[in-house]
Chains A and B, each alone.
Chain A
């Protein structure tokens, strides 16, 4: 079955630690996205990538980093510079960059220890 796989489902971070959230898709989609979801708020865009080896900052990129070395994979690293990382993180992909709807993974919940 085609889809987007996010792992792990739950993740805990210690103070000063970097953690990486995985996002893999087998939909052959060009574009991939990372969102952060906080209670009572909609999704906010962290980073996006429209093609391999290229990515752009979204609205709240500070304290996060990404890479896009393969079409299928778009990992997100939450660095120690992100002072309030506790949130639900959603990865999405779209067929191409031209007004295609986004399809989402199941999300990763990140908490601070």
Chain B
């Protein structure tokens, strides 16, 4: 199985901060990297697919980058509604594994 490792596991930040979350795959996953946002008691929501493509309806303050094994999710200016848990996921090879999550909290 491909292991996905996110860092940090938790992060405290303030509104209007710029935040970056990283995700590393245990082997190359080409461009098959997706990012999800999950709020407590809710289903995950697809934010970014194929490294850097913004899902329809997702604000442009979210962006993704990277290649091969190393990827990042950046939120350019945190808004109150962005405090949530973020997961990366590889859709390159089954089983389609997720990172352990990054809990983004209000400072």
> A and B, one complex?
no
Task: Give the interface of B toward A (CB within 8 A).
Answer: none
